Amino acid sequence: MWDFSTDPEFQKELDWMAAFVREEVEPLDLLFPAGGAPYDVRDEAARAILRPLQQQVKERGLWACHLGPELGGKGYGQLRLALMNEILGRSYWAPTVFGTAAPDTGNAEILAMFGTDEQKRRYLQPLLDGDIVSAYSMTEPHAGADPKEFTCRARRDGDGWVIDGEKWFTSNARYAEFLIVMAVTDPEARPHERMSMFVVPADTPGIEIKRNVATMAERDELDEGIHGYIRYDAVRVPTDALLGGPGQGFAVAQARLGGGRVHHAMRTVGQCRRAFDMMCERALSRRTQGERLADKQAVQELIADSWIELEQYRLLVLQTAWTIDNLPHGAARTQIAMCKVAMAKVYHDIVRRAVHLHGSLGTTHETPLAAMWMSVPSLALADGPTEVHKTTIAKQKLREYTPAPGLFPSEHLPPKRAAARERYAAVLKEHGR
Ligand SMILES: Cc1cc2nc3c(=O)[nH]c(=O)nc-3n(C[C@H](O)[C@H](O)[C@H](O)COP(=O)(O)OP(=O)(O)OC[C@H]3O[C@@H](n4cnc5c(N)ncnc54)[C@H](O)[C@@H]3O)c2cc1C
């Protein structure tokens, strides 16, 4: 059955969320715009505004909706979550207000899936309650897209493990209570069994944040960088710091990254919609040569192209969410990769057009478009570069095909035409053809 409608009861929740984000949450974006602000649990002024908002979300039953009921969420499923995330994506702070901010969502997921009871008690519960934040430490300075190149090591030593190496772009490391670190534990094993995952308290001796790296969306001179360049120097952790079994690092990482990518794709629909809304308002408000920008065919083309791309992308995201909800685990793998690739391209194209239609104003920091434009490159890189996901899509699709049986393609027309003639030979003969 195909059905593109939203249940009216759930639509009421979406309407409440939209108004709440616009009126109550967006002011936080304006008051605390710095890169890591939503994650800085030590900023008392921001927390004093944040906490009552989080409380309202909890009372409404909309807190941490990515989680199943066993972890305190509503268990809405991915399709409803997609509709919610479209609203949350419009605001930088909204995911924190609703308990769905990355990377804590992904970290909570793997703690729930692979964590011991003690790890869940110590890390998962405060994370779900929004009391602490966490970081995910996988990428290394010399290698990112291909984890098989990683060299950060963890060696068995007495009753624990000792971690040595460097990690790069560990987002929010400076605010994190703990880090989830991927390290090589058995370099001789098969590539996908070489690494393990560790839960490491951020105050463990030997952890040094060499630099808080700023992307172009953050400002170095204002110390806004949030991506930790970290040295792990003989960092000793107990045996029970392992998350999952030894050699399970890849499996744990995969479990985390799929959900993270699709949630990001859902939020990006909201960001694109915000840029599109701005584009339309501008086209109707600005005049040139005696008419509105909206009356110019070239401008209409920008708007039409943007809407077509946004609707195509949105339907892909919703269908992916539906697949995750309804088909066996792993069935959405290709679709998630498609969302990741499409996200970066559609976002780039729509934000670029919105900036352009706003003329000189579009190039300034006086509209939300500046922050959007500066995060364009990150979208094509974080959680894996576009090329890697395109490779996944192509490989998966190619598995559904086989080589041509002979010298010519199976769609070669001469033999097909001959077979068609043979099949209907009697009829053709009867009609003298
Ligand atoms: C905003 C942001 C937040 C991030 N947060 C985290 C985090 O919290 N924790 C963490 O561990 N990491 C994080 N990362 C790192 C992210 O996962 C890596 O940037 C990503 O995996 C790519 O790795 P890299 O940057 O080393 O690029 P590289 O691997 O060096 O790739 C650079 C370029 O090489 C090309 N390329 C690479 N591989 C292939 C291929 N197979 N085929 C064809 N071309 C290829 C592509 O053009 C690619 O863009 C974050 C990144 C960003 C931008």
Q: Are 349 and 272 in contact (CB under 8 A)?
A: no
CA–CA separation, 47 and 278 (whole Å): 30
Q: Is 222 in the pocket of ligand 1 (CB under 6 A)?
A: no
In this predicted structure, what is the pLDDT of residue 81? 95
Q: Are 294 and 284 in contact (CB under 8 A)?
A: yes
| Distance between Cα 190 and ligand 1 center (Å) | 23
What is the topology classification, in CATH, of domain 8-101? Butyryl-Coa Dehydrogenase, subunit A; domain 1 (1.10.540)
Cα 193 to its chain centre, rounded Å, is 25
In this predicted structure, what is the pLDDT of residue 68? 81
In this predicted structure, what is the pLDDT of residue 67? 84
CA–CA separation, 332 and 317 (whole Å): 11
Q: Is 385 in the pocket of ligand 1 (CB under 6 A)?
A: yes
In this predicted structure, what is the pLDDT of residue 15? 98
In this predicted structure, what is the pLDDT of residue 225? 95
Q: Is 382 in the pocket of ligand 1 (CB under 6 A)?
A: yes
Nearest CA to ligand 1 atom 40: 388
| Distance between Cα 388 and ligand 1 center (Å) | 10
Handedness of CA 110, 79, 15, 372 (dihedral sign): positive
In this predicted structure, what is the pLDDT of residue 66? 87
CA–CA separation, 292 and 303 (whole Å): 14
Of 48, 199, 63, 65, residue with least CA distance to 122:
199
Every domain of the chain and the residues it spans: 8-101, 134-243, 254-398, 409-433
In this predicted structure, what is the pLDDT of residue 222? 86
In this predicted structure, what is the pLDDT of residue 272? 98
Structure tokens at 356: 């352009």
- Closest atom, ligand 1, to C-alpha of 215: 1
What is the topology classification, in CATH, of domain 254-398? Butyryl-CoA Dehydrogenase, subunit A; domain 3 (1.20.140)
Q: Is 392 in the pocket of ligand 1 (CB under 6 A)?
A: no
Q: Is 378 in the pocket of ligand 1 (CB under 6 A)?
A: yes
Q: Is 169 in the pocket of ligand 1 (CB under 6 A)?
A: yes
Provide block-wise average pLDDT over 10 residues at a time, the chain (433 residues). Answer: 90 98 97 93 96 96 87 85 96 96 91 92 92 96 93 96 98 97 96 96 98 93 94 97 95 83 95 98 98 98 98 98 92 95 98 98 97 96 95 97 97 98 98 96
- Closest atom, ligand 1, to C-alpha of 172: 8
Of 141, 24, 36, residue with least CA distance to 94:
24
* Residue in 171, 224, 389 to alter for ligand 1 test, most ligand atoms within 8 A of Cβ: 171
In this predicted structure, what is the pLDDT of residue 175? 97
Contacts of 300 (CB under 8 A, 6+ apart): 294
Q: Is 384 in the pocket of ligand 1 (CB under 6 A)?
A: yes
The CATH number of 134-243 is: 2.40.110.10
In this predicted structure, what is the pLDDT of residue 320? 96
In this predicted structure, what is the pLDDT of residue 70? 78
Nearest CA to ligand 1 atom 12: 139
In this predicted structure, what is the pLDDT of residue 275? 98
* Residue in 168, 169, 345 to alter for ligand 1 test, most ligand atoms within 8 A of Cβ: 169
For 77, other C-beta atoms within 10 Å of its C-beta total 16
Q: Is 265 in the pocket of ligand 1 (CB under 6 A)?
A: no
Of 207, 40, 36, 200, residue with least CA distance to 107:
200
Whats the size of the chain, residue-wise? 433
